[in-house]
Structure 1
Amino acid sequence: MLSPLRVFTRTRLLPGHHRIASQCRSLLTLAIETSCDDTSVAIVEKHKDASATLHFHKKVTANTAAYNGIHPVIALESHQSSLAPLLQEALNHLPPSQPHSDPCNALHHGNTSRIKPDFISATRGPGMRSNLSVGLDAGKALAVAWNVPVIGVHHMQAHALTPRLVSALESKVSSGPTFPFLSALVSGGHSMLIESTGLADHKILATTGDIALGDCLDKAARAILPPHLAVPPYGRALEQFAFPAGASDYNYTAPAKRDAELARRVTKWGWGLGAPLAGSKNGSSSRKMIYSFSGLLSSIERFVRFEYDHQNATISSRIRQPGDLSDDERRDMAREVMRVAFEHLASRVLLHLSSLPPTEAAKVRSVVVSGGVAANCFLRHVMRAFLDVRGYSHVELFFPPVELCTDNAAMIGWAGIEMWEAGWRSQLSVRPIKTWSMDPSATDGGILGVEGWSKV
């Protein structure tokens, strides 16, 4: 539910004046997100007391169900047809301007005079370049038309900052994660563990060496689920099938020791899923700071397709016939693939924390889990249980609300506000970036290493 609209007296930051942002009564931004298949527009306002109001937030997701995944052309066409109507609708939700306010700071929309945004926030990358262009070009056009600046936002930075937006929306100014904190960013395209020490300082601690966690779960869902239930979003369908009664179905106990974590748990069906990277000699690869989900997916696909030879405890060459795989066995497969995947995600958090000197580890009080996979309630349960049983119950976990886990413009607007307050602006010449690191030590220099930034 959107927060109620609140109107505050405002001191505007005009393009020709470099006024310190903290002196403003509030900051208002119109935000656009078009990095993948979600077209989203939001109007975000941050007030003087550091609370925030979400005046408008809406998105349209491209219908690519017929392609068993994201189809770039269909997603692009969805952006092209959806963005302008969303922007038109958003204008009706800009706060009304006050009587006797500066007319240069107002927009006349219909019969109402509304406050002009201080700046435009638009996703610049990473993502599909053509899709990004739709939103970024629209944002630059609005900036020119309204004579306001634009900020090209880093999509993954916005995911990492989402819990800070949530705290501001709830007026819990002191309860959001403060730097330094860890960020596990997990989606269909990304699986990263990041050490966030500042607004634009995010060190990549671990990333996937093959496929992303969300991609693994989506493909596992299409293999496991009965055909009539295999509908997008596949990850959500997998969770609902695995736990029809929700948390009461979990029956999960986190492994208290590392050897228990790496052990293959054999199910009543005879098969068991091994932990990723645990199969190397002496388990040496199991401590590498890397994520790997392709082997887990391959195991599930083999178990679904081929019969299990109970006598020899191996996968046979006999292909399963229709009806051979019962719903009960499918449900156990769904539960096991999520358990193993989520424990693997949590294990890298623990490996990093345990590698730090005690004084440094004590400084890490928060872990942010964001991205589309963070909407999975079983993941939230596993991550909390895993940290608690290994002695990290003092570390607070931050999960955005489900509606803010997937790609959205509200997080883009908040990231834009934080960058604005730090004095960063984007030049009108900026172009979309397909691949853009968050890490300042990366070859592209990270968030601030690319061309097009200016500092005021």
Structure 2
Amino acid sequence: METTGIAAASCLVLGIESSCDETAAAVVAGDRRILSNVVLSQLDEHRPYGGVVPEIAARAHVSHLDGLIRQALAEAGVGLSDLAAIAATAGPGLIGGVIVGLTTAKALALGSGKPLIGVNHLEGHALTPRLVSEVGFPYLLLLVSGGHCQLLAVEGVGRYRRLGTTIDDAVGEAFDKTAKLLGLGYPGGPAVEKAAEAGDPARFALPRPMIGRPGCDFSFSGLKTAVRETLAGLSQPVSAQDKADLAASFQAVVGAVMVDRTRRALALMPAGTPLVVAGGVAANRHLRARLEVLAGESGSPFVAPPLRLCTDNAAMIAWAGVEHFRAGHTDALDIKPRARWPLDPVAAAAGAKA
């Protein structure tokens, strides 16, 4: 069921996101207006550890979420009574954080009498392109983040068919590990991208995992090992130029792998199917450029959310809530938080990494 005009504008949904290390709240309207999108980053708390510490993340969500929700409602100029529904990430993610956000949403829904919608965090990323453009179903989604690397045929709200996934590590994890090896800091994705700007991508002949193989799956563990071994073989101390060249070589290989795997997935879709990229790694400008060229060569429209909507945020959760609310999908207050929640449970049951 689609809504238009006044009905769409009045379909306001509060979204809550707390699955990892961003605490976020947003209000989005059914006509695609983002009325507020408040994100509190926890980078400073986790940077000393070189990664996200689940207990620290959960405590930060508890401390800040209520205030962020009040701020999001105030910036949108609405109250709970104006909302059509309340949506919150119900998984997958760090279970402590997911519990904080979902429990808060349940309390708000119970107190206000508004419907509750438990959103799959991955679906938030998957549907974000429809928040920023008129892209229709079906489309091919390359979902790339710190915990996930998948190619999905998006056939409708709640209808996802996985064409390929990583058989070991996610690409975002590979970026973080490479940054740590090179001493570039945390988070790794932006650090590697920045270092690569001054590097020679052709200097180091790193392996290009899975390129040319049948299917659409990914693998990055061997590439991480190759980066470590290459770094160990350089004259010590390693120079800034060495680091830049290795970062550029790594990023170029990731781009080549993404293009090869995505080209195979496009071949499984109807001609002219839009190619969509989403998730935190989709903020990488080099990868976006490579994929845009591929889309052009394949005759497919290319859609990528603006950078601020690639990383975790609550606007994408609110929008997924809008999509589900329009379709008549709501949840009971006993919905359970999930640490794992594959978009395509059939593919996950077959044994591939979700």
Q: TM-score, normalised by structure 2?
A: 0.91
Aligned residues: 346
Which residue does the alignment assign to 1:340?
253
Measure, in 2, the Cα distance between the counterparts of 1:116 and 1:277.
Answer: 50
Identity %: 36
Residues 432, 444 of structure 1: alpha-carbon distance in 2 compared, 3 angstrom cutoff: farther
- The structure with higher relative contact order (CA 8 Å, sep 6+) is 2
Report if the CA contact (8 A) 1:123-1:154 is conserved. yes
Which residue does the alignment assign to 1:361?
270
Report if the CA contact (8 A) 2:207-2:223 is conserved. yes
Measure, in 2, the Cα distance between the counterparts of 1:386 and 1:353.
Answer: 10
Measure, in 1, the Cα distance between the counterparts of 2:143 and 2:82.
Answer: 33
Offset of residue 147 of structure 1: 1.0
Offset of residue 160 of structure 1: 1.0
Which residue does the alignment assign to 2:75?
93
Report if the CA contact (8 A) 1:158-1:415 is conserved. yes
Which residue does the alignment assign to 1:395?
300
Measure, in 1, the Cα distance between the counterparts of 2:129 and 2:154.
Answer: 13
Candidates 324, 337, 340, aligned match of 1:435: 340
Bigger helix share: 2
The answer on 1:70 being equivalent to 2:52 is yes
Residues 241, 21 of structure 1: alpha-carbon distance in 2 compared, 3 angstrom cutoff: same
Offset of residue 387 of structure 1: 4.2
Report if the CA contact (8 A) 2:106-2:333 is conserved. yes
Offset of residue 140 of structure 1: 0.6
Secondary structure at the counterpart of residue 137 of structure 2: coil
What is the CA RMSD across the aligned residues, in angstroms?
Answer: 2.3
Q: Which amino acid aligns with 2:101?
A: G
Report if the CA contact (8 A) 1:343-1:383 is conserved. no
Q: Which amino acid aligns with 1:72?
A: P
Which residue does the alignment assign to 1:329?
242
Bigger strand share: 1
Candidates 273, 285, 291, aligned match of 2:218: 291
Secondary structure at the counterpart of residue 219 of structure 2: coil
Candidates 63, 67, 70, aligned match of 1:81: 63
In the TM superposition, what are the counterparts of 1:276-287 in structure 2 within 5 Å?
276-277=209-210, 286-287=213-214
The answer on 1:406 being equivalent to 2:311 is yes
Which residue does the alignment assign to 2:289?
381
Q: Which runs of 5+ in 2 are unaligned?
A: none
Candidates 131, 136, 161, aligned match of 2:102: 136
Which residue does the alignment assign to 2:161?
203
Report if the CA contact (8 A) 2:151-2:265 is conserved. no
Residues 195, 321 of structure 1: alpha-carbon distance in 2 compared, 3 angstrom cutoff: same
Q: Which runs of 5+ in 1 are unaligned?
A: 1-18, 97-105, 108-114, 168-175, 253-264, 308-319, 446-456
Report if the CA contact (8 A) 2:147-2:172 is conserved. yes
Offset of residue 42 of structure 1: 0.3
Measure, in 1, the Cα distance between the counterparts of 2:276 and 2:215.
Answer: 21
Candidates 14, 37, 54, aligned match of 2:34: 54
Which residue does the alignment assign to 2:150?
192
Report if the CA contact (8 A) 1:116-1:146 is conserved. no
Residue-by-residue CA offset, 1:349-372 (whole Å, 9 max, x unaligned)? 111233x4xxx53152x1110000
Offset of residue 69 of structure 1: 0.7
Report if the CA contact (8 A) 1:21-1:420 is conserved. no
Residues 148, 21 of structure 1: alpha-carbon distance in 2 compared, 3 angstrom cutoff: farther
Which residue does the alignment assign to 1:38?
22
Offset of residue 333 of structure 1: 1.0
Secondary structure at the counterpart of residue 403 of structure 1: helix
Measure, in 1, the Cα distance between the counterparts of 2:69 and 2:101.
Answer: 11
Report if the CA contact (8 A) 2:89-2:317 is conserved. yes
Q: Which amino acid aligns with 1:406?
A: T
Which residue does the alignment assign to 2:207?
274
Which residue does the alignment assign to 1:261?
none
Offset of residue 409 of structure 1: 0.3
Residue-by-residue CA offset, 1:53-93 (whole Å, 9 max, x unaligned)? 22211111222001111111111111111101112222323
Measure, in 1, the Cα distance between the counterparts of 2:349 and 2:61.
Answer: 28
Report if the CA contact (8 A) 2:153-2:162 is conserved. yes
Measure, in 2, the Cα distance between the counterparts of 1:141 and 1:444.
Answer: 33
Candidates 183, 197, 203, aligned match of 2:141: 183
Q: Which amino acid aligns with 1:273?
A: L
Which residue does the alignment assign to 2:265?
352
Measure, in 2, the Cα distance between the counterparts of 1:88 and 1:395.
Answer: 41
